[in-house]
Amino acid sequence: MTAPARSTDTPATPARPGFGTVLASRMGIAHYADGRWDTPVIKATGPIEISPAAHVLHYASTCFEGLKAYRFADGSINVFRLDRHVARMLQSARHLVLPEPDPILLAGLVRDVVDAVRAEVPEAPGALYLRPLLMGMLPNIGAAATPSNTDAMLMVLASPVWDYFAGGMKPLRIYVDDQNSRTASHLGMVKTGGNYAAAMKPTLDARAKYQADQVLFCAGGYVQETGAANFLLLRDKHILTRSLDSSFLHGVTRDSVLTLARDLGYSVEERPFTVAEMLEWARDGEAALSGTAAVLTGVGTLIYNGQEHRVADGGVGPQTLRLREALVAIQRGESPDRHGWLQRV
């Protein structure tokens, strides 16, 4: 077989692995048993052994976090809003009746993992994605109504990442779904695997039918969030986003963007709003998704009831770009960290 001809007039860019597909060389792990957490260890990333009866495998007793560490131009490594992510993980653990890790232990484990793999943290625009994961380990297949609050495993994985959405800053196509739910209404604010399982099939269907990048779940006709990011509407120096309730994940990026927007003199309105109001706004406003992976990504098209609604001119809007740049500049150490969001490791 002959190798395909390669063009020689443009230098080959190294192919970047998909978001989350490559793990860093070390991971952190700790166990809860006999009423206490053992001392966490950092070890080579590799398979783990668990009981086939482990609660998590049957009853989905699991929650996780997703945060990033950035390499600054001076070579230092800095974790973004670690305290917030630790607090959210504890809140998830509480809702799932799992043993809550000690916040100092968890934050220390994240920092120790970052330190162990610091040579693997990519330069900007890359970052080290960090994935703390808590799982119920009670070995009991008759525990549908029994929590795994006596046995658990905590892990921290790390993964060098670049763009989450394959198209980079290409405006997204979003399918507006007012039929399916991505979560039980009391678990929306919990970062648990079951929510992602619920969003999977509607998202794949929307991708196949409408080439949609994500589904915006709008139970009862009210805008909630997509399968992996929060949703914001922007116009001039005004932002509208759903107010915090138990139906959706309280994004750390959402909070960061709203804080920066207020600093820049934007007015921020947090309240429930309908699909109809969103479509009206989209005529001349902007829409964006916020999340650790998505950062702040513009929405170009909303697809609802089989109809495509272009968001303004269909491109990424100026407010979205401005706020994205303001956030990214802090994360990369290019703007002062006025809110104390970064922790140097």
Ligand X SMILES: Cc1ncc(COP(=O)(O)O)c(C=O)c1O
User: Which residues sit at the interface with ligand X, rule CB under 6 A?
Assistant: 66, 225, 228-230, 249, 251-254, 290-293
Residue with tokens 């207020």: 262
Residue 53 structure tokens: 């009866």
Contact 333, 70 (CB under 8 A): yes
| CB nearer to ligand X: pick between 53 and 244 | 244
| CB nearer to ligand X: pick between 55 and 182 | 182
| CB nearer to ligand X: pick between 137 and 158 | 158
Q: How far is the CB of 185 from ligand X (least distance, A)?
A: 14
Name the burial class of residue 66, with classes exposed (0-12), middle (13-18) and buried (19+) by CB atoms within 10 angstroms of its CB.
middle
- For the chain, the first-to-last Cα distance in angstroms comes to 50
Q: How far is the CB of 14 from ligand X (least distance, A)?
A: 26
| CB nearer to ligand X: pick between 293 and 345 | 293
Q: How far is the CB of 145 from ligand X (least distance, A)?
A: 27
| CB nearer to ligand X: pick between 249 and 312 | 249
| CB nearer to ligand X: pick between 138 and 232 | 232
The partner residues of 241 in beta bridges, in order of sequence, read 232, 270
Q: How far is the CB of 189 from ligand X (least distance, A)?
A: 9
Q: How far is the CB of 214 from ligand X (least distance, A)?
A: 10
Q: How far is the CB of 254 from ligand X (least distance, A)?
A: 6
Residue 196 structure tokens: 């992602």
CA distances, 298 to each of 57, 226, 268 (Å): 36, 13, 18
Q: How far is the CB of 47 from ligand X (least distance, A)?
A: 25
Q: How far is the CB of 251 from ligand X (least distance, A)?
A: 3
Question: What backbone phi and psi angles, to 5 degrees, belong to 319?
Answer: -70, -40
| CB nearer to ligand X: pick between 54 and 110 | 110
| CB nearer to ligand X: pick between 160 and 188 | 188
